[in-house]
């Protein structure tokens, strides 16, 4: 389940891509009350644009919210769709449903292969993890799709984006001009046209790190920055942990990962203090002010950790 925060029309609500139920849902809080509602209203699988009481989705994997409060959806059906909440309609903005490929272009003239994650930049450009094509694509506000990272068959894992190759990209997050990309075994920061490895589970996996660190194995899910941009928080699906790392780490990255919540290789569903909590294949993260929301996939629920700014600095 992909999740995103809506700070535009429904302040602080959590939007959920409910892939199993082919639905887009919203979680809102009011005092002690929590409400879950379906934004997509037709409980069936398909690819139909139109009014919300007609439109249907096919295995939505990720969601993001733009500056107008509209919801961007990455579907396993190889297209990117938008829920225009003002008009009450769903439309396909890029790609052709059920047709896979790798082709830049405008709107339906562009092709994707298994888009798995979306996020929205400050100018409403949409960044897409095109997993099947091992690349990062960008949809400009005018609908033009371009490939920005991953078009290098024998590229490096870090360095200028024009020379970087991606291996199994899974999720993406944007903050200002910076991008975070999670892959099977790495978390990378894209800053000023360069890619820097922050986490690399293939490096130093068996070497003990400094006191207070934890091991990670991957696969890594959707990362987020903390409020200051100093730390990157990410889920490790294989070890069932929520971890974090400083953006200023030195190589090898794996030796500097710290534990925020959960316990190494201990899965379950336990609420409570972060050190005593348990998760099962946590995948997506979203942050609203000082609260971190977690898509706990195998427990089929959305969890929350409060006061993360304090926890990151203990």
pLDDT in tens, 159-218: 899 898 888 899 999 998 899 999 888 899 999 999 988 888 765 444 445 555 676 766
User: DSSP 3-state assignment of 259?
Assistant: strand
Residues 6 or more apart from 144 whose CB is under 8 A from it?
Answer: 104, 105, 106
Tell me: pLDDT of 69 over 90.
yes
Average pLDDT over residues 9-34: 88
Letter string b/e over residues 176-189, b meaning 16 or more CB atoms within 10 A of that residue's CB: eeebbbbbebbbbb
Phi, psi of 29 (to 5 degrees): -115, 140
The mean of the pLDDT values for the chain is 88
Task: Give a three-class secondary structure readout of 207-238.
Answer: CCCCCCECCCCCCECCCEECCCCCEEEEEECC
Q: What length does the chain have?
A: 314
Q: Which among 196, 189, 100, 112 has a CA at the least distance from the CA of 146?
A: 112
The percent of residues above 70 in pLDDT, for the chain, comes to 93
Q: Which among 174, 303, 306, 283 has a CA at the least distance from the CA of 234?
A: 283
Tell me: pLDDT of 25 over 90.
yes
- For the chain, the straight-line distance linking the first and the last C-alpha, in angstroms and rounded, comes to 30
- Residue 313 is predicted with a pLDDT of 74
- Residue 3 is predicted with a pLDDT of 96
- Residue 206 is predicted with a pLDDT of 43
Continuous segment of H or E residues that includes residue 311: helix 308-311
- Residue 204 is predicted with a pLDDT of 43
In this predicted model, what pLDDT tens digit does every residue of 245-270 receive, in sequence order?
888 866 555 557 888 999 888 889 99
The percent of residues above 90 in pLDDT, for the chain, comes to 58
Average pLDDT over residues 1-8: 92
Contact 69, 12 (CB under 8 A): no
């Amino acid at each position: 389940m992909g999740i995103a925060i809506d700070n535009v029309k429904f302040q602080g609500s959590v939007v959920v891509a409910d892939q199993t139920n082919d639905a887009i849902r919203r979680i809102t809080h009011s005092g002690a009350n929590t409400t879950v509602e379906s934004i997509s209203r037709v409980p069936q699988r398909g690819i139909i644009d139109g009014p919300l009481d007609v439109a249907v989705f096919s295995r939505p994997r990720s969601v993001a919210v733009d500056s107008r409060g509209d919801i961007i959806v990455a579907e396993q059906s190889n297209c990117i769709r938008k829920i225009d909440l003002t008009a009450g309609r769903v439309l396909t903005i890029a790609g052709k449903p059920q047709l896979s490929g790798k082709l830049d272009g405008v709107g339906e003239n562009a092709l994707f292969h298994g888009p798995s994650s979306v996020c929205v930049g400050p100018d409403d450009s949409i960044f897409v993890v095109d997993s099947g094509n091992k690349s990062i694509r960008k949809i400009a506000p005018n609908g033009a799709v371009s490939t920005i990272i991953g078009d290098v068959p024998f590229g490096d894992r870090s360095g200028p984006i024009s020379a970087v190759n991606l291996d199994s990209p899974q999720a993406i997050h944007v903050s200002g001009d910076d991008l975070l990309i999670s892959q099977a075994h790495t978390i990378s920061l894209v800053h000023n046209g360069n890619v820097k490895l922050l986490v690399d589970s293939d490096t130093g996996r068996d070497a003990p790190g400094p006191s207070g660190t934890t091991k990670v194995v991957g696969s890594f899910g959707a990362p987020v920055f903390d409020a200051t941009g100093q730390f990157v928080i990410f889920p490790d699906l294989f070890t069932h942990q929520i971890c974090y790392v400083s953006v200023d780490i030195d190589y090898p990255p794996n030796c500097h990962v710290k534990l925020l919540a959960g316990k190494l290789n201990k899965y379950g569903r336990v609420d409570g203090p972060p050190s005593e909590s348990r998760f099962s294949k946590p995948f997506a993260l979203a942050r609203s002010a000082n609260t971190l929301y977690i898509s706990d996939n195998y427990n089929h629920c959305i969890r929350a950790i409060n006061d993360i700014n304090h926890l990151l600095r203990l």
